[in-house]
């Protein structure tokens, strides 16, 4: 089956500064792909390239098998997008914004449906000049979702949304994906997309450094037990001498691996008459494993 979105060997420079190098990835229909990377990694540039908004310096892009170029946008009819900041006209109401973008047979019903989905009924008929940051952001997302596109590209969509709105947006996106809509969503915070995306693309300095499933990334996170004793200095020496894997840092963090770790550490400490005062289970941290990937594969 053709991928809904295919990016192959994409290159982009601004002047003589290379900002994307050989970027290749595919997103299958109905999948939610997270494009994650630090500020300046090139996330927005990838999205603008896919949308034919900026010229590229090589590579190919296709949406549902149709090529996209700067002057050939036909493939983009089925694409909805929000890039960087929503373009808001202060003197139009939210509904008037959506009317400008609606292109279905029953515009009014489509608008009602997206307004309902995004929970914007309360202020949709008010002029956008009085909108808060989060309300503007929701309007931008509503525009991207409005015409029931096959592919939706959202650049940092959670910006400015409160936790309840974030959770609600996740539910809306998941439901659309379950009905076959494909999503490419960027963020500089991996954990923000943890409960949403099934595919993860990690971008650093214009290069995709990791392409994996969210599940695999989560499985790779390490379990750590933080322990406190009545003599941490001696405890640490003993554990190090016994070759028990410890997390970096001053506190004592036992890394749990397939051989165990915690039980042998405890036996050793108790045997040496050191009192273990507390043991805390530290959740495997996705953000740390993301930073590890970015740092380990740092490119020149």
Ligand X SMILES: Nc1ncnc2c1ncn2[C@@H]1O[C@H](COP(=O)(O)OP(=O)(O)OP(=O)(O)O)[C@@H](O)[C@H]1O
147 binds ligand X (CB under 6 A): no
Rounded Cα distance between 90 and 86, Å, is 12
Which range in 38-46, 138-146, 168-176, 225-233 contacts ligand X by CB under 6 A?
38-46
* Among 2, 9, 22, 40, interactor with ligand X by CB under 6 A: 40
- Smallest gap from residue 41 Cβ to ligand X (A): 4
136 binds ligand X (CB under 6 A): no
149 binds ligand X (CB under 6 A): no
Would you say 32 and 187 are in contact if contact means Cβ atoms under 8 Å apart? Answer: no
208 binds ligand X (CB under 6 A): no
* Among 11, 21, 24, 44, interactor with ligand X by CB under 6 A: 44
**At 167, phi and psi to the nearest 5?**
-65, -40
Strand-pair category, 151-155 with 79-82: parallel
Which residue number, 39 or 179, has a Cβ lying nearer to ligand X? Answer: 39
Residue 187: strand pairing partners: 36
Q: What is the DSSP string of 105-172?
A: SSHHHHHHHHHHHTT-TTTTTSBGGG--HHHHHHHHHHHHHTT--SEEEEESTTTT--HHHHHHHHHH
253 binds ligand X (CB under 6 A): no
Which residue number, 265 or 294, has a Cβ lying nearer to ligand X? Answer: 294
56 binds ligand X (CB under 6 A): no
**At 32, phi and psi to the nearest 5?**
-115, 110
- Smallest gap from residue 241 Cβ to ligand X (A): 44
Q: Give me the residues that bind Mg ion (CB under 5 A), please.
A: 43-44
- Smallest gap from residue 185 Cβ to ligand X (A): 13
Please, how many CA atoms are within 13 Å of residue 84, restricted to the half-sphere of its CB? 10
Which range in 35-43, 60-68, 129-137, 247-255 contacts ligand X by CB under 6 A?
35-43
Which range in 41-49, 65-73, 189-197, 257-265 contacts ligand X by CB under 6 A?
41-49
Residue nearest to Mg ion (CB): 44
Q: What does the buried/exposed string (b/e) look like for 31-66 if buried means 16 or more CB atoms within 10 Å of the residue's CB? A: bbbbbbbeeebbbbbbbbbbbbeeebeebebbbbee
14 binds ligand X (CB under 6 A): yes
* Among 37, 80, 140, 253, interactor with ligand X by CB under 6 A: 37
- Provide CB contacts within 8 A for 265, sequence distance 6+: 225, 227, 239, 242, 244, 254
Rounded Cα distance between 282 and 177, Å, is 32
Which range in 34-42, 104-112, 225-233, 238-246 contacts ligand X by CB under 6 A?
34-42
Which residues contact ligand X (rule: CB under 6 A)? Answer: 14, 19, 37, 39-45, 188
């Amino acid at each position: 089956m053709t991928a809904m979105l295919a990016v192959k060997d994409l290159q982009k420079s601004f002047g003589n500064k290379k900002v994307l190098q050989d970027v290749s990835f595919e997103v299958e229909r109905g999948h939610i792909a997270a494009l994650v990377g630090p500020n300046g990694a090139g996330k927005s540039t990838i999205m603008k390239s896919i949308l034919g908004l900026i010229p590229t310096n090589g590579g190919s892009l296709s949406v549902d098998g149709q090529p996209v170029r700067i002057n050939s946008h036909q493939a983009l009819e089925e694409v909805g997008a929000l890039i960087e900041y929503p373009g808001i006209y202060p003197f139009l109401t939210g509904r008037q914004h959506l009317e400008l973008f609606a292109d279905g047979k029953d515009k009014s019903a489509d608008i009602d449906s997206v307004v309902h989905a995004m929970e914007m009924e309360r202020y949709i008929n008010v002029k956008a000049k009085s909108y808060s940051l989060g309300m503007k952001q929701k309007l931008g997302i509503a525009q991207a979702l409005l015409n029931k596109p096959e592919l939706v590209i959202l650049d940092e969509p959670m910006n400015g949304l409160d936790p309840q709105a974030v959770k609600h947006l996740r539910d809306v996106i998941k439901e659309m994906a379950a009905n076959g809509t494909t999503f490419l969503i960027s963020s500089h915070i991996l954990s923000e997309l943890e409960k949403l995306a099934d595919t993860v693309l990690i971008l650093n300095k214009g290069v995709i450094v990791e392409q994996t499933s969210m599940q695999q990334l989560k499985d790779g996170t390490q379990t750590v037990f933080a322990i406190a004793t009545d003599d941490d200095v001696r405890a640490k020496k003993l554990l190090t001498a016994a070759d028990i894997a410890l997390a970096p840092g001053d506190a004592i963090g036992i890394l749990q691996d397939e051989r165990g770790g915690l039980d042998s550490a405890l036996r050793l400490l108790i045997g040496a008459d050191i009192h273990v005062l507390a043991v805390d289970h530290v959740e495997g941290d996705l953000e740390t494993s993301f930073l590890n990937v970015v740092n380990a594969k740092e490119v020149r």
